[in-house]
Structure 1
Amino acid sequence: MTDHPLPFRDPQLSFSRRTDDLLGRLTLDERIAMLHQFAPAVERLGLGPFRTGQEALHGVAWMGPATVFPQAVGLGATWNDELVRRVGEAVGNEVRAKRAQDDRVGLNVWAPTVNLLRHPLWGRGEEGYSEDPALTSAIAVAYTRGLRGDHPHYWRTAPVLKHWLAHNNETERDTASSSVRPRVLHEYDLRAFRDAVRAGAVAGVMPAYNLVNGRPNHVSPLLEQHLRSWTDQPLVVCSDAGAPSNLVDSEHYFDTHEEATAAALKAGVDSFTDHGTDSTVMTGRIRDALAKGLLDESDIDTAVRRLLAMRFALGEFDPELDPYAQVDDLDTAEHRALALEAAEQAVVLLKNDGLLPLAPGQGRTVAVVGLLADDCKLDWYSGTLMHRSTPLDGIRERYGAENVLHTEGVDRIRLKTSDGWLRVPEADGTQDGEARGAEGALDPALLAGRTDLPPLTCGDEATELALIDWGDGVLTLRTDEGLYLSVADDGYVRASADEPGGWVVQETFRREEVEGHDGGHRLLHIGTGGYVSVAADGAKVAVSGEKISREDATVFESETVESGADAVARIAAAADTVIVVAGNDPHINGRETEDRTTLDLPAQQDRLWRAAHAANPRTVLVLSSAYPYAVVDAAAALPALLWTAHGGQAAGTALARVLAGDVSPAGRLPQTWYASDDDLPGLFDYDVIGSRQTYLYFRGTPLFPFGHGLGYADFTYSGLRAEADGDQLRVSFTVTNDGTTAADEVAQVYVRAAGPAEAPAPEGLGRRLPELGDPSDLPLRKLVGHRRLHLAPGAARSIEFTVPLEELGHWNVAHGRWAVEPGGYEILAGASSADIRLTTTTEVGGEALGPRPVKERGIEAADYDRQQGTELVDRAKTEGDAVAPASADDEGRLVYRACDFGDGVRALAFQVSGEGRVTVSAAGHNSLIQFPDTGGPYSYRTVEVAVDLRGVQELRIGLTGSVRLARIDVVPGKESA
């Protein structure tokens, strides 16, 4: 007899058998219900409700107080896999602890984000780890292993990687298509996901909102062709919020929601995140698709089986055996110490002319100034702080409050209208009482969006406001009490938020000058798009939901009470050393839904460091930001610069310890810091190879290179050796601390194909692109290993890296597979991608694949070697790529190198759709094909062109019109004898 009458309850059986048993007991309606994010309970079987999705990017988010670790890009800057694994473990334990307190907390965590930081203006760059796929993979493997736990059967949490695939723009994010050619796909974008999946610590992925090669990610064949080929584990694919509806509503890829839902399910999406907690819409679509024959029950069963497998792994059905069921690690001393350690390791010393470290000393005064000097910024995926340390807090604690001077450096203004001065009325009752917590901190849950506070009015007395310009004309206004002007649902303007935030930020405004009115301006509320109007009942931007127009807006005159730059200069002159803390607010000018427009530091913050430096040459600039900045002048003028991502709850303490020399900084840049916007590609240009993006291909001189970071000790490298061992390359060398202080070093190993060095780009032409046909498209260097190590003064350590030989290869488009070319490869060891200390060369046998076998394989149009003016599009809605001109008015050009036509080819067949013209050029031969509309973009026909080609030639193709080219073949029977 068994104590488990139902096999799915029997822990002696395998998860697979138990899953099959439970699946067979569920009715069709019960199975369909499980496909929504909020799956209901099945009481007759004793199953509780289940929710996919719990944000845990750098701590438990959206579920109240939790330990807040540095932003993901800051974790990437640590270059420390083991540290990040411990952070993942701590976050996973806090998820479990909060789950025990609140059943709304889910164990299927949507983290980490492994999208590569290809473009530094991407609004969600704070969520990723690095621009490099190898570093991103290593950090992702570490974090997911921590989240998953090390039990052989049960998982602490079930991590889901975000966002599949090639997603780097918030602008038009649900309608833009990323054109990703095969080499970029295999060498760059897929690589970021692959290792974490292969490591067995990932439960699934979330597709991104965008399209890739004209096809929405939520119906991507790559989910089955690649993602699920990397593991035998049943991976769950969770849709992004609202994305299933986007397939029809914004992308117009399908005509009906039933078609779209069926296509997504068949492509591999298992859990639909749409319409919030209301599952009826999506389950209704699934039922309708089933009734119309667009789905089979087997499609539903496949998805449900994967979801159930995840629930079994999370211990839902074995609470007495689940080793994580009783975890109660929330805000422990260990987690607090780990948050500090992570924040310390994330600090990157960009420049130091000897000013740092700045040891506290008798009579030494430190001025701490800047818009972020006394702020601990959170982002959209942060939890609620239980502990808070700003740079000012940390420096006061470390240097002594009596030795620290402070001014924020904001411009203080008063606003006047024709009816008097703008003022914040005193609130009755609770504004200064109930709205404040035990330590006097304003409670955003009580303040933001309040409608019981009086709106701003006009009167004889003015309220002084701190004006903070965040760049791009975006500003916030704040009272002396620390309350930001904000707009609630009723459209009135109140001083009612302690920080900018929310999905739609209600605290940002823009000034618009009024023609013919000297100094007059209107205030546009960015969140609603309405203008501020001050009437008898108060200031407002909307009435009964209708936005106030420009014509009805109040015209303000601004009076500056104090210049922030003047205040900074005054404080700086009185101090021994000045610390200017600048950076971004993660809810403004660069966040989810919003890309940045420039690398420049906002003008107001630029003025502050200049004012400080003019008054005191001993000025340090600290950039506390989620993104890189092009601070060329600051880097040239100031003796010291540091960068740290927003460092979570311990950011200020960590910074102070680094400044004081208690910790030698060893963070490294996880992405290139460019010197100018002119160095950047287009936001929508995903061809990192063709347009020379990231450290892998960029030929210019960056402001600070990938992997860069300084410390307070000098290290030497010696004894580099590289030896082939089967299918691996063993690389070893010794690192020695020649300094007088214990410190970390991050040793980095790069490889590149040996050969003549490329000439640098001419001055001012950092993004000089190759001519069409230029064969120089291999990485200038490629990271294959890194190790963060701690060494005492004088200590040395020999370290070894095992590099799979496949890392030396690339995707060979001519043969459609990965290949390692035979020949010499340089192994480079050093402290950054530009600070190479040792180099050696090793010979690799590899495999010489030879020219493109056109007669045997034909040519997939997407397998070009070079292109100009084209984009990749979907060949069909289910699978395949084609190439089209990027503009119907201009010719797109393709180059296919080293095409082997053997002893002769007399005709080529082009598989095309649409309408237009194809030109063919090779070996002095030129042909043109003009064809009428084939009947639509997915209606292909074959057109032939006579040619006379033999031997190995370069084939050039031109495309004009609405044509889509899918494939080129040799016409049988027309070769020369």
Structure 2
Amino acid sequence: MTAPHRARTAAEVLAALDLAEKVAMLHQHAPAVERLGLATFHTGTEALHGLSWLGTATVFPQPVGLAATWDPDLLRAVGDAVATEVRAKHAQDPAVSLNVWAPVVNTLRHPLWGRTEEGYAEDPDLTASLATGFCRGLRGEHPEVWKTVPTLKHYLAYGNETDRAVTSSHLPPQALREWELPAFVGPLAAGVVGAVMPSYNLVNGRPNHVAAELLDELRSFAPSSIAVVSDAQAPSNLVDGERYFPDHVTSHAAALRAGIDSFTDNSQDTAPTIERLTAALEAGLITEADVDRALLRVLELRERTGELAGHDPYGVGPDAIDLPQHRALARESAGRGVVVLADDAGVLPLRDPARIAVVGPFADRVLHDWYSGTPPYTVSIAAALRERHPGADVRVADGADRVALRSLTHDRYLEVAPDGAVAATAVAPHERTQLDVTDWGDGVSTLRAVATDLLLSGASWIQAASATRVGGWVAQETYRLHTHHDGTVSVLHVGSGRWLRVQHGTHLLVADGTATTAERFARHTVASGAASVAAACDGADVVVVALGNDPHIAGRETEDRPDLLLPPVSREIWRTAVASGTPAVLTLVSSYPYAIAEEAASAAAVVWTSHAGQELGHGLVDVLSGDREPSGRLAQTWWAREVDAGDLLDYDVVGSAQTYRYAPAAPLYGLGHGRSYTRVAYRGLTLAADGTGGGADGGAEVTAPPATTRHTAADEAAATAASGRPGLDAVVTVTNTGERPVDELVALWVHAPRLPVPAPARRLAAWTRVALAPGETREVALRVPLGVLAVWDVAAAAGPGDPATPATPGAYRVQPGVYRLAAGSSVTDPAVTAPLVVHEARDGGGPAPSRADRIDAHAFHAHAGVVTSDRTREHGSSVEVAAAGRAAWTLYRGLDLDDVTAVGIEATRRALPAWGPSTVRLEVRAAGGGEHDWRALTAEVAVPEGDRYAWQELALPLVAPPAGRPGGLDDVDLRLHLTGAARVAAIHLER
């Protein structure tokens, strides 16, 4: 029998396939092609912080916890371990894909985002560096065959779960270039990424799954081909949820043309995708060349894994899971991600206490999140303390109220049978009637059976104590307890939205009631959670108060956080511990930051760890007990108040002054914050530009480099080293003045002056980690590329030889001025500073007044009340008044209008009704003038009704003839006013 032909390259496979086979392979689940020796294949194995959803695997800390190490090399080691376990699962089952859907590189712009746990850092440069490290580990060392093929998620401007599949992120060019793109570009440019997944949301009015201009530009940064895999059900959502296209054939064709290569849609049912793409071919909406282009990228992804050539240089066997070195790495990463936020009382490290109280919901439990495997074991905080202090009396109280619920209808207590069934059958309270109620905030609780230590779950409509933890895409283990005016309670099962009642006959507890038929229960408190906490704290030498969030409740995929506060019951646990008089260590185990100014003020110490996986307890106690020096540093701002974080749905971080870079508010704990058990003194900072020495004040002077479209913050350092771009050499002198060693984060921050194009008030410029012995002084050298000073100026043009034309007008430009560089313990601690004077380039540096005949409306310098929207369904941008607004304006600086004879506006109207008339008008002033200097340039023109894509040219008559204005309009600012439903794509100038 003749063996099937094995095609060795992606191009060979593509050439051997017929059209029907090609179309079928564009679905996530590609069929086998036996005549070519191709097995079935699918994109996507979840591997965010360990192999997920496929059984036992090493569970490392959440990415937000890994990021607190500020160490790309550690993340590379974690990535390598994860890739090993993916290969091991693949060896067990070849259907396990070697294309992994990780990491998430969306910046942690806002702490209310439900998926904060999945990202790395607030700063895009730090995010890019850490993601690149993780991807290097996932990719492996072989020059041709990748250990796994990483996929970056989720492109682009995705950071809210509220209506995530239909909201549009307003992203002006400056925010796009300086904030959103760099986190993706870093790992792409490093060549360690093989795929990208677009996000569900829209950007500037267009769904990311048909954003051809953004996808094309992203691909331009990668040294080799990149496959774009859709998010789950996103292709169908273009019609079903977003209502962006009239039918699925049109939408699938648009997605393929835009650059989607693999359709993750309808789970494993490939038929709808095949039918829609085939119909698009027949209708002429796509061609076979479009199919070939997409499929080749997917085949190249498969080629990277060694599949096509049948080559496996790694030789990972099926047993390479939960290896001893993986356990050790899990413990190391858990410990290195612990951040000591405060230790003013000097209670840490613990000094062999004889009696330790560990209280709160995480005292003796370890939870893991949605994107997690099943850990082979877990080590809790209490267990680790007992292990570390074997002679100590470790007392545990989780703070839950222990209750018994008696049905008023049947006059029986709920009772948990040995098989987990819950029924109102007990005449009197006993152990099997006792439930521990843990309140996670926002009215959501879990009910744990004391007799079996299992959670009540509604996975079936019949309730049962059957779950070890909260889990699932829709959590079935959460309840809301509603207290009536007479003190009785009714219970809502959150997952189903049904109220609990007790059946007649069987007396089983079921979730099928309404608010009016819900069972009334008398709530009998067996033991108060607060009283248990007080008893545990009584006589203790120290109390570790372990509070935080369940990763499946009040903040996760599909659910943003309700606020930044600790839940009321958690705050009561804290107050009870503090009231005992025992020194209390506020220990937060969470996926995200909290606003804890009040709690921190009464704490002997404050410590944070993410949900750090199987070794959480060891990692945390290693730090608390001083066996590991604390080295974790915050990668995300902890704001003192929720309002300081800004609007969750506002992505224009520049215009809205959000994030640590722009926000005027002082944080509770700033980016880079973290204490050690010693003291590090910052004694000096000197700067030296290329080819020059430092100034007497430690500062330096440089000339602004040429503008470029290719600079992004994420890859600037590498580009500087490789191409000799201008940069700075900074030397920070640090001394360990204490008696313990330290692993210090030495970071340099740049503070910009007020400039014509807004620059960050503060920005991470460079960083490294330095080990210092007690008494040691070190001069730490940091290379600072001048590109970190650059802003995206929509009026700037790139210099000669710039290799790319971006989708948005403008270029990166370093503006002249006096900048201040600072180093210290965090962004809020400028312990040492030095000035940097940037001079104009010899040719004048800044852009000359523009004589362009077209001004793209979305390429504004400033705005108020406007959002960027789509010009057509597939290409271009425009501006319009924000939803529920009535008027807006955009500003364009540095224009030469001196010989303009007529002005045209490319305009249309939104389809939705507007308040009042829809109009456009223009005003002009001398460049840089004040608000009172504006004067009308044209008359106001009404925008006629029509299709939102029916663009038409409106002529705006000049108020005064072009003659008779000598020198008046050769360097001006222009302001466009919009009212009602007006949409504008461009301003056309006739000369």
Q: State TM-score, norm by structure 2.
A: 0.89
**Which structure 2 residues correspond to residues 400-419 of structure 1 after superposition, within 5 A?**
400=390, 402-419=392-409
Amino acid at match of 1:941: Q
AA paired with 2:441? G
Letter of the structure 1 residue corresponding to residue 496 of structure 2:
T
Counterpart CA distance in 2 for 1:852 and 1:928 is 28
Q: String of CA shifts for 1:105-130, please: whole Å, max 9, x gaps.
A: 21000000000111100000000001
**Residue 221 of structure 1: which of 212, 236, 257 is its match?**
212
Does residue 936 (structure 1) correspond to residue 947 (structure 2)? The answer is yes
1:925 to 922, 932, 935: 935
Partner of 1:399: 389
Check if 1:487 corresponds to 2:450: no
Shift of 1:779: 0.6
Decide whether the 8 Å contact of 1:730 with 1:800 is kept in 2: yes
- Partner Cα separation in structure 2 for residue 846 and residue 204 of structure 1: 41
1:8 match: secondary structure: coil
Q: Residues 604, 793 of structure 1: CA spacing in aligned structure 2 closer, same or farther, 3 A cutoff? A: same
Match of 2:119 among 122, 128, 140: 128
Q: Which moved more, 1:825-834 or 1:317-326?
A: 317-326
Q: Aligned to 1:31, what secondary structure does the other structure show?
A: helix
The SS at the match of 2:161 is coil
State the match for 1:549 in structure 2: 514
- Structure 2 residue aligned with 1:831: 825
CA 1:296–1:340 in 2, change beyond 3 Å: closer, same or farther? same
Check if 1:784 corresponds to 2:761: no
1:929–1:458 Cα change, 3 Å: farther
Which of 908, 913, 918 does residue 913 from structure 1 map onto?
Answer: 908
Q: Give the letter aligned to residue 485 of structure 1.
A: L
Match of 2:668 among 672, 682, 703: 703
> How big is the shift at 1:878?
1.1
- Answering whether residue 149 of structure 2 is matched by residue 161 of structure 1, we say no
For 2:920, give the aligned amino acid: V
Question: CA offset at residue 354 of structure 1?
Answer: 3.5
Unaligned runs of 5+ in 2: 691-724, 797-809, 911-917, 926-933, 961-967
Mapped contact 2:871–2:985 kept (Cα < 8 A): yes
Q: Which residue number corresponds to residue 285 of structure 2?
A: 294
> TM-score, structure 1 length as denominator?
0.90
Q: After superposition, what is the alpha-carbon deviation per residue over 1:840-870, rounded to whole angstroms, capped at 9, x for unaligned?
A: 2233456555467443253211122222221
Shift in CA distance, 677/421, structure 1 to aligned 2, threshold 3 Å: farther
Q: Deviations over 1:187-214 (max 9, x none)?
A: 0001110010000000011000101111
Distance 1:421 1:728 in 2: 79
Offset from partner CA, 1:355-377 (integer Å, 9 cap, x none):
3323343x621101101111111
* Cα offsets for 1:793-838 (capped at 9, x unmatched): 2233333222332221010012311112234332222221112222
| Aligned residues of 1:319 and 1:325 also touching (Cα < 8 A) | no
Aligned match of 1:348 in 314, 339, 347?
A: 339
- Show structure 1 runs of 5+ residues with no match: 10-17, 432-452, 757-773, 973-977
Residue equivalent to 1:456: 423
Indicate which of 250, 258, 264 corresponds to 1:273: 264
SS of alignment partner, residue 533 of structure 2:
helix
Q: Which residue of 2 aligns with 1:441?
A: none
Alignment of 1:644-663 (within 5 A): 644-663=609-628
Q: 1:918 deviation in Å?
A: 1.4
Q: What residue is the counterpart of 1:627 in the other structure?
A: 592
| Deviation digits for residues 479-536 of structure 1 (CA, Å, limit 9, x no counterpart) | 11211111133x112212111111111111113344xx42233221111111111122
In structure 1, distance between residues paired with 2:412 and 2:60 = 40
Q: Deviations over 1:51-79 (max 9, x none)?
A: 10000000000011111100000011111
Match of 1:955 in 2: 974
Q: Does 1:743 align with 2:742?
A: yes
Pairing 1:527–2:546 present:
no
- Paired position in structure 2 for 1:692: 657
**In the alignment, which residue of structure 2 is the partner of 1:332?**
323
1:961 partner amino acid: G
Please identify, of 839-848 and 904-913, the stretch whose mean Cα deviation from structure 2 is larger.
Answer: 839-848
Aligned AA (2:436) = A
Q: Deviations over 1:613-639 (max 9, x none)?
A: 010240110000001011111111112
1:19 alignment counterpart: 10
C-alpha contact 2:865 2:885 (8 A) present in aligned 1? no
Letter aligned with residue 907 of structure 2: V
Cα distance per residue 1:288-328 (max 9 Å; x no partner): 11111111001111111111111111111334453355585
User: Which residue does the alignment assign to 1:443?
Assistant: none
1:475 to 445, 449, 467: 445
Q: Is the 8 A contact 1:355 1:618 kept in 2?
A: no
| 1:284 alignment partner, SS class | helix
Q: CA deviation at 1:679?
A: 1.6
Deviation by residue 1:170-200 (Cα, 9 ceiling, x = unmatched): 1101111111110000000011100100000
**8 A Cα contact 2:27 2:273, kept in partner:** yes
Asked whether the equivalents of residues 894 and 958 of structure 1 are also in contact (C-alpha less than 8 Å), the reply is yes
State the aligned residue count: 912
Does the 8 A contact of 2:541 with 2:582 survive in 1?
no
CA shift for structure 1 position 152: 1.2
Percentage of pairs with the same residue: 43
CA 1:458 to 1:777, structure 2 compared with 1: closer, same or farther past 3 Å?
farther
- Contact 1:731 / 1:803 at 8 angstroms: preserved in 2? yes
Shift of 1:7: 8.4
* 1:222-261 paired onto structure 2 within 5 Å: 222-261=213-252
Q: Deviations over 1:237-258 (max 9, x none)?
A: 1110110110010001111111
RMSD after superposition: 2.1
1:668 and 1:422 map into 2 onto residues whose CA distance is 53
Structure 1 residues 422, 189: CA separation in 2 closer, same or farther (over 3 Å shift)? farther
What is aligned with 2:606?
641
CA distance in 2, matches of 1:541, 1:422: 15
Distance 1:549 1:199 in 2: 56
How far apart, CA to CA, are the structure 2 residues paired with 1:791 and 1:947?
A: 70
| 8 A Cα contact 2:348 2:605, kept in partner | no
* Structure 2 counterpart of 1:771: none
**In structure 2, C-alpha distance between the alignment counterparts of 1:594 and 1:741, rounded to whole Å:** 43
1:82 correspondence with 2:73: yes
Aligned match for 1:73, one of 52, 64, 67:
64
Deviation at 1:221, TM superposition (A): 1.9
In the other structure, the counterpart of 2:788 is: 807
Aligned partners of 1:701, 1:21: CA distance in 2, in Å? 59
The aligned residue for residue 448 of structure 1 is none
Q: Give distance in 1, aligned partners of 2:516 and 2:319.
A: 58
Deviations 1:730-767 (A, max 9, x none): 223233322211221111111233x47xxxxxxxxxxx
Residue 883 of structure 1 aligns with which residue?
A: 879
Distance in structure 2 (CA, Å) of the matches to 1:479 and 1:965: 61
State how 1:110-129 maps to structure 2 within 5 Å.
110-129=101-120
- Quick check: 1:36 aligned with 2:21? no
SS of the aligned residue for 2:64 comes to: helix
Contact 1:156–1:324 at 8 Å: present in 2 too?
no
Alignment partners' CA distance in 2, 1:75 and 1:422: 49
Given residue 528 of structure 1, which amino acid in structure 2 is its aligned partner? S
Do the aligned residues in 2 keep the contact of 1:223 with 1:267 (CA within 8 Å)?
no
Q: Matched residues in 1 for 2:745 and 2:587: separation?
A: 21
How far has the Cα of 1:89 moved from its partner? 0.8
